[in-house]
Amino acid sequence: QKEVEQNSGPLSVPEGAIASLNCTYSDRGSQSFFWYRQYSGKSPELIMSIYSNGDKEDGRFTAQLNKASQYVSLLIRDSQPSDSATYLCAVENSGNTPLVFGKGTRLSVIA
Amino acid sequence: GAVVSQHPSRVICKSGTSVKIECRSLDFQATTMFWYRQFPKKSLMLMATSNEGSKATYEQGVEKDKFLINHASLTLSTLTVTSAHPEDSSFYICSATTRGGQETQYFGPGTRLLVL
């Protein structure tokens, strides 16, 4: 049983701070890792994908992957109130298999 | 790129009727589409995996005769909720994967179903 674990939150950070979202996964064979953002009442939208160990930066977002520790994280720099949403970690073992989603971490950025 | 649409975005129906939801990949060919259901303040729940030209694979506990899935082409999959009941009221979301390795799933905007 593949599992993806996230702290449900809420994680509250002040505006301008760095938000750190964490995710662990159980399947050591996992190859592809994704972060999705879901606003209340909306469908998930892709923020970042990462496939190899290390950091990947895209604007204010940085994804970090450590396959040895089976750990993936998302950092949001200069957090804005508009970043307030639920962030879903998703892990894929091989192509065309369903992503395994975590339950999501609710982030609240306080102005 | 990688846009997925769903139609309708919102539907209200009477108990006992059937509702069809369409999922289209607009700018890419989707080898696989997935159907999810999400109740308010709950996690995404995968219902089924749909591959073009073959039968859908349903997750445990999902009735295949109630939730009919047809993936007739590389750009279209449909979910039909047959004989809908109030407990089927939910947010139904599809996603699609692109061809090639390390596929990414792109989500449609979702369909909100209310069964009266």
Cα–Cα separations (whole angstroms), residue B4 to A36, A43, B43, B55, B105: 15, 11, 21, 21, 10
Q: What is the pLDDT of residues B41-50, one digit of tens each?
A: 888 999 999 8
**pLDDT: which is higher, A72 or A32:** A72
Q: Give residue A71's pLDDT.
A: 96
Q: Is the pLDDT of residue B29 over 50?
A: yes
Nearest-Cα distance to chain B for A98, in Å, is 7
What is the rounded average pLDDT of the residues B11-32?
93
User: What are residue B41's phi and psi, to 5 degrees?
Assistant: 60, 20
Checking if the pLDDT of B104 tops 90, the result is no
Instruction: Give the nearest partner residue to B103 out of A96, A103, A104, using CB atoms.
Output: A96
What mean pLDDT do residues B63-89 have?
Answer: 94
- Confidence band, pLDDT 50/70/90 cuts, at residue A55: very high
Contact A35, A92 (CB under 8 A): no
The answer to whether the CB atoms of B93 and A98 lie below 8 A apart is no
What average pLDDT does chain A have? 93
DSSP code at position B3: -
Q: Can you tell me which residue has the tokens 């592809």?
A: A32
Tell me what pLDDT residue B101 has.
43
Cα–Cα distance, A44 to A48 (Å, whole number): 12
pLDDT value at B54 more than 90: no
Per-residue pLDDT, A14: 97
User: What is residue A74's predicted lDDT score, i.e. its pLDDT?
Assistant: 98
Q: What is the mean pLDDT of residues A70-81?
A: 98
Listed residue (A51, A50, A48, A53) closest to A68, CA to CA: A53
Distance, in angstroms, between A45 CA and closest chain B CA? 7
Q: Determine, for residues B109 and A34 on separate chains, whether the beta-carbon distance falls below 8 Å.
A: no
Q: Is the pLDDT of residue B100 over 90?
A: no
Alpha carbon of A93 to those of A4, A13, A90, B46, B104: distances in Å? 12, 32, 10, 16, 12
Nearest CA in chain A to B6: A43
What is the mean predicted confidence (pLDDT) over B59-88?
94
pLDDT of B110 above 50 = yes
Q: Is B47 helix (H, G, I), strand (E, B) or coil?
A: strand
What ranges make up the beta strands (E) of chain A? 4-5, 11-14, 19-25, 32-38, 45-50, 54-58, 61-66, 71-76, 85-92, 100-101, 105-110
Is the pLDDT reported for residue A96 higher than 50? yes
CA distance A62 to A56: 5
Judged by a CB distance cut-off of 8 A, whether residue B51 touches chain A is: yes
